[in-house]
Structure 1
Amino acid sequence: MDKFPTNPPIIEQFWQSPPEPINQILDAPLPPTILLSPNREWMVELEKPLLLPIALLAEVEVALAGLFINPKTNAPARHNPYGSMKIRAIGQSQGAIASPEISKTVALPDNAQIGFLRWSPDSQKLAFTLTQATGLELWVVDVADCTTRRLTEPVLNAAYGEPYCWLSDETLICKFIESDRPEPPSEPAVPPGPLIQENLHAKSPSRTYTNLLQNRHDEALLEYYLTSTLEKVTLDGHRTLLVSSSLIYQPIPSPDSKFILLATLQRPFSYQVPISYFPKKIQVIDDAGKLVYEVADVPLFVRRTTKFDEVRTGRRGVSWRCDVQATLCWIEALDEGDPTCDVAKRDALFELDAPFSDTPKQLWQSEYRFHSLAWGKEDVALVWERWYDTRKERIWRIYPKAPETPPQLLFDRSYEDKYTDPGSALMTVGPLRYRVLRFAPQGNVIYLTGRGASPKGVYPFLDSLDLETGQTHRLWQCQDPYLEEISYVLDDEAQTVITRRQSQTEPPNYFLFNLRDNQLPIALTHYQDPAPQLAGVESELVKYQRSDGVQLSAKLYLPAGYDPTRDGPLPMLFWVYPEEFKDKEFAGQITKPENTFSRPSRASVLFLLTQGYALLSGPTLPIIGEGDAEPNDTYVEQLIAGAQAAVDYVVGRGIADPNHIGIGGHSYGAFTTVNLLAHTDLFRIGIARSGAYNRTLTPFGFQGEQRNFWEAQQTYIHMSPFTHAAKVKAPLLLIHGEKDSNAGTYPLQTERLYEALKGLGATVRLVVLPLEDHGYRSREGVAHVLWEMVNWCDKYLK
């Protein structure tokens, strides 16, 4: 008589720690975050731990409409604050570089939790919040002498948007919790009635968002935590009421500080979409709180299509023009926001000067969807337009003072083509507090910084661009053996710069130098190797070819001291994440820099190098759909071809044994992992973290897929590894955060795949991490994930 398997559904287990040196490396300090003042004279170093104690993740949070609120502090939950702050002056005078001053530590209360840092317009003061047990306080430090002052009690409201901003060098505007606010509304013991939703014929597809409003009690909580007053606060602590209790999102002062652009949340709320879709009222008030102009009454955004280029109707993207005193600007769709409409023009850019009583002036129209904008001066602004279906991008120079002047086309390209990427326009803080294009002293010349991808590798650059001729000139480009990137340009001549430099043997550090003289760079930081145990690890950018001729690449890592002749093939793990393309030519471009200082952090797969494994990190798995074809229609076939090419390469070099190669990935990489286990026998194990495996549970699009399930039913089904679970024979480790808030990757996805595989007799292990989100953040959770990965590889791959 057959016996039933005695396989308990749950294994009770405590947190585990990975083997050394992994456990030791996890506690290595994180390099400080660097923050420069707007005038580039002061540098702030901010330190915080990389991983949090699980106890911090266990703090109570309220999830509402996509927000995560700490009810004790009325601030964002899942927040990792800075713990210390240092300030130093950057030494430069009239173009000459001097050694920077020694950093001074800012004296703060013990166990400080620093957040929401903002420079004053004159760069002489830095405001920040300190989190206390009952809320957020506002503090200011004078950078010249590092003296601090507390401006408020712990009453700032940071639940929705920024809690404060500078109005002038001496005054801030702050969102405050009402002084007489009662206790939060309690949930009724007996539901007041059923939850009812209906749709009357109109199409309103939504992606699979998480943590949405569920009932009237959630609505009441949302109003409770988001309600604020808006007040002016001077540096001596004096407060003046501007706006009484409202659901205030973001107050934004005009460049001349005379007006405030104010957005407030409005009803009706939605149970189907997150808060960014909710109705808003956008107004202009003066610096005394008086209403000046009603900009827009924005309704609930109800999508009609799953197309990525769908946008709201009416005024959107309302902001201040950054280069003049008080001029509003916004975008309006000319196609009703519907990308399926066949129209000549998609969007229009408008502006309206104070006192906002004239007819808005149209500055530009786009053929594609408006993407972004950089203001410069009265005759120069740059605008970007993009169209997802074709991956096309255009960059234009427009003439704000003379919009009748035909726009000048600067670049017309595919944004998939990294080799022709002109880079990003260099910005600086203008005379009116906000960031504008940085111009060279001679004429209409601006600067561009980019990654510099090419067939030879990735070499970041600094270019000048003459806006009159459209010609670029290379001013600087990093050279082997470094990966060096421009972090800041300190002068209009683009001579004095701060770069972030690293190599395969040197950790990233910041350097100050002049591009035109022979003076040696001055090191601003001296960060050390956080994992010297990996100092001998070899990394190499490798290139190979798919069977259809597409060029592929990957980063190959080999353990320290490995000799292929002496040691032979190693057990190897691939760590994957595919990408969609519309052009075969661009799918094979080299976009991974070779000269990186590769050290693991968090739950990085690189930790396996300490345990004798080789790694193939990020092998390119392009999914291409040229012309009218969609990439995902041949997803599985192209995935197999890319994986086969990678396996053939490492086996052909003699560094891997085909019987000892595994595969893993996170999120969409986890989805890819299970698909390759189901459709090939190339891999002996799989590690799938926080993935989605059944595409019928994400029926209105996922990743780069715009079509819904009913438009591409066979594609959705064929791509879903859940459909092919019976073909998964290799041992599979499934890991998922219990509180995953990422759209589409519900923990249910992993739970259901585990149940299917268990029912089919597969070798599978399910690990659900309490309190963890889509990315793992606690010291205990990350350590346990690494323990699971090492054990799984040791048991089934070595």
Structure 2
Amino acid sequence: MRLPLLCLLLASASPVLAAPTSYHRAPDAIARILEAPPTPTVAVSPDHKTLAIFDRENLPTIANMSKPILRLGGFRIDPATNGQAEVRTQWLTGLTVQDLATGRKTMVALPAGVRFTSASWSPDGKRLAMVAQGADALTLLTVTLDGKATPLAQHINAAFPGRPYEWLPDSSGLIVRTIDPARGAPPAESTTPAGPIVQESNGRRSAARTYEDLLGDAHDEALFDYYFTGMLTRVPLDGGAATLVKPAGLWSDFSVSPDGRYLLTERLKRPYSYLLPAGYFPTEIGVSTIAGQPVRTIVDRPLADDLPVDFDATVKGPREVAWRADAPATLSWAEALDGGDPKANVPFHDRLFVQAAPFDAAPTRLADVAKRYAATMWGDDGFALVVDRDWKTRTEHRYAVAPAHPGEAKLLLTRNYQDQYGDPGFPLTEANAAGKPVMRFTPDHKAVFVTGEGATKAGAFPFLARMPIAGGEQTRLWTTRAPYYEPVAALLDDSGHRILTRRESATMPPNYVIETVGGGKPRQVTDLPDPAPAFARVTKRTITYARADGLPLSGTLYTPAGYDAKRDGPLPTLLWAYPAEYTDPKVAGQTVDEGNRFVRPRGISHLFLLTQGYAVLDDPAMPIIGENGAEPNDTYVKQLREDAQAAVDAVVKLGVGDRDRMAVGGHSYGAFMTANLLAHTDLFRAGIARSGAYNRTLTPFGFQAEQRTYWQATPTYTEMSPFTYADRIKAPILLIHGGADDNSGTFPIQSERMYAALKGNGATVRYVVLPNEPHGYRAMESTQETLWQMTDWLDRYVKPTRPAQAVAK
């Protein structure tokens, strides 16, 4: 069903017909915050001498969001500029560079009204590059530290995600993906079909999850070829002529070797798929000279349409091919030893290889890992850190390998990667002279610097530590002190004595600070203001409570500015949550106090309801636990009821929440949770469900953390689907969905069918479709509409102290 503009479908005691309306402005207290300029973002130069401060564009207009786009191969692009569609882009509008030593700021002279994205520092820290949007094309600009901006390349092809350029390691120029000037006009679509669209399977298993924006016919294939085909061009900074490196092709990714002599490329090929996004298309990965002469093909992979549905399933042959960051020109990659099936009973599931230039010798086995390869952090010939992960058990292994002595991997630790308290952090990586990320060693070269969250029950206190490369316990060098939350952004010297951090507290907005390890007064570098001072008097606290089975739970309780429980009594309260699956109850029950975090709402945040007199229990733990190999979802509804009951009891016991005026809400999987709680409990007077999926038979090859298919777990799929129990939902429910949802599994039809089911069973329901909006709504008009709808719904059905039935009538 196609709905014009914004449609409100309200079913109550009297039938109400669908009707187009204009957008609503959010309540004034909310609208003023939304319309204020957003906080700038920053990037530190590789040499740690300069800070780039970027002004961000506020929420886009619905007019910009409604410009024509193309949905091809799982991507959304702007055909006018050959770049990412508005929905996929966070535009920047201004740039200031600040000298860290002196604090001197220089505003960059950018063209009036410019919007740009994909900004990055050159390896030497003397320039920035960025992609600027024009009316009908994208342009590559470079900026020097004296504030001058210079156009460098025209007609950039940014259809594929990621930066459409890469700096050369010596900072002399860039490799840029550009549009082929000979490509001509876009392929025209015939109004007469050439014939039927036929898909056929020959009995081979080819399961696929529910993806959005796929190719659908031959014309889509032609459009994909037209817009995604680009050339790779070398563009020097000295004003010399650009040179062609790779001719027109579907270059989905490319990177330069650390020594600048070779180019690693990924190129997509036919045949395409109508069931899978472009990441599964046939792919050729190869290495060439920097001038573009082919040297070696690493893999020429066919269409990956035969993968098991398990999360750790992967393709056969080389994958995740990348440069070894600390070597001149050495490739690394992983290959499955289990045929790509994580259920295979093998001692090792993945093998890592390396191969050095000139790539004519056989690849060398670097290490075998027990589970699915996740990442490598490079250091030098003597130390690299390899990580594997297993989804089913949430287990992570970390190994020490010595690239100079390949073949052996020393196990450093095994942990549950959901364990917040036991998280040792990860080595700090920073760009080397070639611009590649490498670990930072301590001066004695016996350890690497490590940073982490430092999560404890009392709060998260980020730290800097040294991790011995030979194994053993870490040594903490610096730890954030209360009342601050202060993650490490960079080391400012080789000894780790001076560090750049981002400091915030519950009352202080995040700003960059230079700390001296071992003592000394911090020096504040930036002075970014509070973006929403109206929230300064809002109070928050972490509350802890227990589920009926004794499992400890927690959530963050917010109350409006000036609220006093003894004086003002219980408030109407919104529980906004998102369930999570665990394999270990000890990990599921961990609590980390959020008291040292600075919180200001943006976009469609439910926290804006604090300005309207509501208390909000934010992110109350909703763990779904499967112990000893049991599947968490087989007891989903039971555990969800117990989680919600404990949360409601906790806020009522504190005297903040009014048991008779409770609402529940969530986005995406949180919307799914909301509908389930309204179907299976009577705890809530109303619910808000945004962009959810309610009928799991429409996602038959897995969803969220569920790996089993519908046919393997039919009862679970049925019982978890609130669509099955639509006749039990009696509390008023607000359904909101983006009309152009781009998330796997949450097609708008999920809300359309859920609305029809609720309406047909006599529920009180409103269904709001936000035109041209993706899974997370972005336009200013849509954002204000969403917050108006949420406020109006709760004001109607939750805030009044008289019974909800009377309100509904």
TM-score normalized with structure 2 length: 0.95
Distance in 2 separating the partners of 1:417 and 1:151: 47
**Per-residue CA shift, 1:104-139, capped at 9, x if unaligned?**
110011111111222222111111111111111111
- C-alpha contact 1:458 1:594 (8 A) present in aligned 2: no
Structure 2 residue identity aligned to 1:377? D
- Out of 312, 325, 328, which is 1:309 matched to? 312
For 2:19, what is the secondary structure of its paired residue?
coil
Q: State the partner residue of 2:5.
A: none
1:762 pairs with 2:732? no
Structure 2 residue identity aligned to 1:381? A
1:469 Cα deviation from its structure 2 partner: 4.1
Q: Which moved more, 1:556-565 or 1:591-600?
A: 591-600
User: 1:459/1:161 Cα in 2 relative to 1: closer, same or farther (>3 Å)?
Assistant: closer
- C-alpha contact 1:175 1:229 (8 A) present in aligned 2: yes
1:14 Cα deviation from its structure 2 partner: 0.5
Distance in 1 separating the partners of 2:492 and 2:459: 28
- C-alpha contact 1:459 1:593 (8 A) present in aligned 2: no
**Per-residue CA shift, 1:454-490, capped at 9, x if unaligned?**
2222222111111124220011111211122112222
Q: State the partner residue of 1:501.
A: 503
Distance in 2 separating the partners of 1:712 and 1:414: 26
Q: Which moved more, 1:535-544 or 1:469-478?
A: 469-478
Q: State the partner residue of 1:32.
A: 40
Q: State the partner residue of 1:81.
A: 91
Distance in 2 separating the partners of 1:436 and 1:174: 24
Q: State the partner residue of 2:691.
A: 690
Structure 1 residue identity aligned to 2:516? N
Q: State the partner residue of 2:7.
A: none
- C-alpha contact 1:175 1:231 (8 A) present in aligned 2: yes
Distance in 2 separating the partners of 1:161 and 1:575: 32
- Out of 104, 107, 123, which is 1:105 matched to? 107
The runs of 5 or more residues in structure 1 that have no matched partner are 92-99
Structure 2 residue identity aligned to 1:81? W
1:159 Cα deviation from its structure 2 partner: 4.1
Distance in 1 separating the partners of 2:321 and 2:139: 29
Q: How does 1:227-266 map to 2 (within 5 A)?
A: 227-235=229-237, 236-266=239-269
1:560 Cα deviation from its structure 2 partner: 1.2
For 2:776, what is the secondary structure of its paired residue?
coil
Structure 2 residue identity aligned to 1:784? E
Q: State the partner residue of 2:9.
A: none
Q: State the partner residue of 1:492.
A: 494
Q: State the partner residue of 2:465.
A: 463
Q: State the partner residue of 2:298.
A: 295
- C-alpha contact 2:513 2:526 (8 A) present in aligned 1: yes
| Percent identity of paired positions between Structure 1 and Structure 2 | 44
How many residues of Structure 1 are paired with residues of Structure 2 in the alignment?
784
User: 1:487/1:433 Cα in 2 relative to 1: closer, same or farther (>3 Å)?
Assistant: closer
Structure 1 residue identity aligned to 2:60? L
Q: How does 1:315-394 map to 2 (within 5 A)?
A: 315-394=318-397
Distance in 2 separating the partners of 1:193 and 1:109: 49
**Per-residue CA shift, 1:21-80, capped at 9, x if unaligned?**
111111122111111111111110011123111111011110001111111100111223
Q: State the partner residue of 2:603.
A: 602
Structure 1 residue identity aligned to 2:304? F
Q: State the partner residue of 1:94.
A: none
- C-alpha contact 1:162 1:249 (8 A) present in aligned 2: no
- C-alpha contact 2:307 2:314 (8 A) present in aligned 1: no
For 2:421, what is the secondary structure of its paired residue?
helix
Q: How does 1:129-208 map to 2 (within 5 A)?
A: 129-143=131-145, 145-159=146-160, 161-167=162-168, 168-208=170-210
Q: Which moved more, 1:553-562 or 1:158-167?
A: 158-167
- C-alpha contact 1:731 1:763 (8 A) present in aligned 2: yes
- C-alpha contact 1:159 1:225 (8 A) present in aligned 2: no
- C-alpha contact 1:157 1:228 (8 A) present in aligned 2: no
Q: State the partner residue of 1:9.
A: 17
Q: State the partner residue of 2:614.
A: 613
Structure 2 residue identity aligned to 1:61? I
**Per-residue CA shift, 1:388-422, capped at 9, x if unaligned?**
11111111110111124x42222111112111111
Distance in 2 separating the partners of 1:221 and 1:501: 47
Q: Which moved more, 1:488-497 or 1:204-213?
A: 488-497
1:55 pairs with 2:57? no
- Out of 415, 418, 432, which is 1:413 matched to? 415
Structure 1 residue identity aligned to 2:93? G
Distance in 2 separating the partners of 1:128 and 1:346: 40
Distance in 2 separating the partners of 1:770 and 1:343: 50
- C-alpha contact 1:132 1:154 (8 A) present in aligned 2: no
Q: State the partner residue of 1:97.
A: none
For 1:393, what is the secondary structure of its paired residue?
strand
Q: Which moved more, 1:156-165 or 1:665-674?
A: 156-165
User: 1:592/1:778 Cα in 2 relative to 1: closer, same or farther (>3 Å)?
Assistant: farther
User: 1:161/1:596 Cα in 2 relative to 1: closer, same or farther (>3 Å)?
Assistant: closer
Higher relative contact order (CA 8 A, sep 6+): 2
TM-score normalized with structure 1 length: 0.97
For 1:790, what is the secondary structure of its paired residue?
helix
Q: State the partner residue of 1:123.
A: 125
- C-alpha contact 2:667 2:689 (8 A) present in aligned 1: yes
Q: State the partner residue of 2:806.
A: none
Distance in 2 separating the partners of 1:113 and 1:679: 48
1:686 Cα deviation from its structure 2 partner: 0.2
- C-alpha contact 1:574 1:664 (8 A) present in aligned 2: yes
Distance in 1 separating the partners of 2:354 and 2:116: 37
**Per-residue CA shift, 1:161-194, capped at 9, x if unaligned?**
5321122321211112111221100111111111
**Per-residue CA shift, 1:623-649, capped at 9, x if unaligned?**
001012100000000000010011111
Structure 1 residue identity aligned to 2:15? N
- C-alpha contact 2:547 2:643 (8 A) present in aligned 1: yes
Distance in 1 separating the partners of 2:581 and 2:794: 30
1:693 Cα deviation from its structure 2 partner: 0.4
For 1:483, what is the secondary structure of its paired residue?
coil
1:664 pairs with 2:669? no
- C-alpha contact 2:123 2:433 (8 A) present in aligned 1: no
1:504 Cα deviation from its structure 2 partner: 1.5
Q: State the partner residue of 1:44.
A: 52
- C-alpha contact 1:373 1:382 (8 A) present in aligned 2: yes
**Per-residue CA shift, 1:171-219, capped at 9, x if unaligned?**
2111121112211001111111111111111111111100100000000
1:618 Cα deviation from its structure 2 partner: 0.5
Distance in 2 separating the partners of 1:667 and 1:621: 15
Q: State the partner residue of 2:805.
A: none
Q: Which moved more, 1:682-691 or 1:157-166?
A: 157-166
Distance in 1 separating the partners of 2:435 and 2:779: 38
Q: State the partner residue of 2:718.
A: 717
1:536 Cα deviation from its structure 2 partner: 1.2
Distance in 1 separating the partners of 2:557 and 2:399: 40
Distance in 1 separating the partners of 2:593 and 2:241: 53
1:507 Cα deviation from its structure 2 partner: 1.4
**Per-residue CA shift, 1:197-242, capped at 9, x if unaligned?**
1111111111110010000000000000011122211111511112
- C-alpha contact 1:427 1:435 (8 A) present in aligned 2: yes
Q: State the partner residue of 1:545.
A: 546
For 1:364, what is the secondary structure of its paired residue?
strand
1:157 Cα deviation from its structure 2 partner: 4.5
Distance in 2 separating the partners of 1:115 and 1:760: 48
Distance in 1 separating the partners of 2:14 and 2:646: 41
Distance in 2 separating the partners of 1:57 and 1:571: 35
- C-alpha contact 1:16 1:783 (8 A) present in aligned 2: yes
Q: State the partner residue of 1:623.
A: 624
Distance in 2 separating the partners of 1:484 and 1:193: 62
**Per-residue CA shift, 1:521-567, capped at 9, x if unaligned?**
12122122222222211100000000101000000001111111111
- C-alpha contact 1:303 1:310 (8 A) present in aligned 2: no
